[in-house]
């Protein structure tokens, strides 16, 4: 157990729908990162939050949004889902915004039918 908790572990939904993925960082970590891993692709950085504020943005679609709450948990919202959004979504955390060693959760597998 890495200490980073992601829910749900698996999610199946239909095109056009909206889902929310949740992440609780490791105790003491203030920074949360979201990554997408599609089939046959590496890990693509989506967005980073530090202590409730957005710190960095990667190749995140406009249909996707995220936030980090005062208790430091984070949610990734995916809307108007398309087949191509099917992927593993990983959350990672680190103690500070500048830390370069991330601890990953087990991921949420999203399947869009």
Partner 1 sequence: GQQLNQSPQSMFIQEGEDVSMNCTSSSIFNTWLWYKQDPGEGPVLLIALYKAGELTSNGRLTAQFGITRKDSFLNISASIPSDVGIYFCATPEETSGSRLTFGEGTQLTVNP
Quick one: tokens of 21? 């993925």
Q: Residue 39 Cβ, how far from partner 1 at the closest point, in Å?
A: 12
Cβ–Cβ under 8 Å, residues 34 and 47: yes
Q: Residue 16 Cβ, how far from partner 1 at the closest point, in Å?
A: 28
Q: How far, in Å, CA of 54 to CA of 68, rounded?
A: 8
41 binds partner 1 (CB under 8 A): yes
28 binds partner 1 (CB under 8 A): no
Q: Residue 18 Cβ, how far from partner 1 at the closest point, in Å?
A: 24
- Between strands 31-37 and 87-94, the pairing is antiparallel
Tell me the site size for partner 1, rule CB under 8 A: 27
Residue number, 66 or 92, with CB nearest to partner 1: 92
Count other Cβ atoms within 10 Å, centred on residue 29: 20
Q: How far, in Å, CA of 69 to CA of 81, rounded?
A: 24
5 binds partner 1 (CB under 8 A): no
Positions that interact with partner 1 (CB under 8 A): 2, 4, 31, 33, 41-43, 45, 48, 55-56, 58, 90, 92, 94, 96-107
């Amino acid at each position: 157990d890495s200490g980073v908790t992601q829910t749900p572990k698996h999610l199946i939904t239909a095109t056009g729908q909206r889902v929310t993925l949740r992440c609780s960082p490791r105790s003491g970590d203030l920074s949360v990162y979201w990554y997408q891993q599609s089939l046959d692709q590496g890990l693509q950085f989506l967005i980073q939050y530090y202590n409730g504020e957005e710190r960095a943005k990667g190749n995140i679609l406009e249909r996707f949004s995220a936030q980090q709450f005062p208790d430091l948990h984070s949610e990734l919202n995916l809307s108007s889902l398309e087949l191509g959004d099917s992927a593993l979504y990983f959350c990672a955390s680190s103690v500070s915004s500048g830390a370069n060693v991330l601890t990953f959760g087990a991921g949420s597998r999203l399947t869009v039918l």
